[in-house]
């Protein structure tokens, strides 16, 4: 049985597709499944933003085949860990949780890097290309720590 990790942002086209691609690249595929979703439904069915695809490409990752989907209550059952990009995503996901067990699955991804500081991954959507590289770097550092912990705990 594989351990399932979900990355969540608002649109599922900028930050969480990068987070999915980065974490998946650091984990053995036979033991872990990584997916992503958005709390909003604006971009359902769309590929990641071109700027996220480009940034991922520059680091040797292909995220172009991902398609956006909306986070749903079922994800609390399907996934063992749910990492959100910012405080607003956190509030939106926690609002849908019904049990303490579900709430405990949810954390901000940058708490891996800055424990208990609740730092947001900034939304790069309305910014420029270099904002996407900044997001990539933060997520890469956080996912490096997370991947080590997950491998230690589950394999
Ligand atoms: P994401 O970025 O949450 O990182 O995918 C956004 C994408 C789209 C919008 C907002 C944020 N939007 O308002 O359409």
In the predicted model, what is the mean pLDDT of residues 16-40? 98
- The alpha-helical segments, DSSP class H, found in the chain are 15-26, 50-58, 74-78, 87-96, 100-104, 129-154
| Protein residue with least CA distance to atom 3, ligand 1 | 10
Non-local (6+) Cβ contacts of 40 within 8 A are 10, 11, 12, 70
Tell me the pLDDT band of 61, cut-offs 50, 70 and 90: very high
Map out the domains of the chain as residue ranges. 3-154
Joined tokens for residue 83: 């990492």
For the chain, what percent of residues have pLDDT higher than 70? Answer: 100
Cross-strand pairs, 4: 33
**Residue range 137-155, pLDDT digits in tens:** 999 999 999 999 999 999 8
Taking the whole predicted model, whether its pTM rises above 0.95 is answered as yes
User: Which of 7, 8, 9, 10 for a ligand 1 pocket mutation test, highest count of atoms within 8 Å of Cβ?
Assistant: 10
Q: What ligand 1 atom has the least distance to the C-alpha of 42?
A: 14
Q: Does the annotation mark 103 as catalytic?
A: no
Q: What is the CATH number of domain 3-154?
A: 3.40.50.2300
Whether 15 is catalytic is yes
């Amino acid at each position: 049985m594989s351990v399932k990790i979900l990355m969540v942002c608002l649109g599922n086209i900028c930050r969480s597709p990068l987070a999915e691609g980065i974490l998946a690249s650091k984990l053995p595929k036979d033991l872990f499944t990584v997916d992503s979703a958005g709390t909003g439904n604006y971009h359902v069915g769309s590929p990641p933003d071109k700027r996220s695809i480009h940034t991922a490409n520059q680091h040797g990752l292909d995220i172009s085949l991902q398609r956006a989907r909306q986070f749903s209550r079922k994800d609390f059952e399907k996934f063992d860990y749910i990492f959100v990009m910012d405080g607003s995503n956190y509030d939106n996901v926690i609002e849908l949780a019904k049990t303490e067990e579900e709430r405990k699955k949810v954390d901000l991804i940058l708490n891996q890097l800055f424990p208990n500081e609740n730092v947001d991954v900034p939304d790069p959507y309305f910014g420029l290309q270099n904002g996407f590289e900044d997001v990539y770097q933060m997520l890469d550092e956080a996912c490096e720590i997370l991947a080590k912990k997950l491998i230690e705990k589950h394999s």
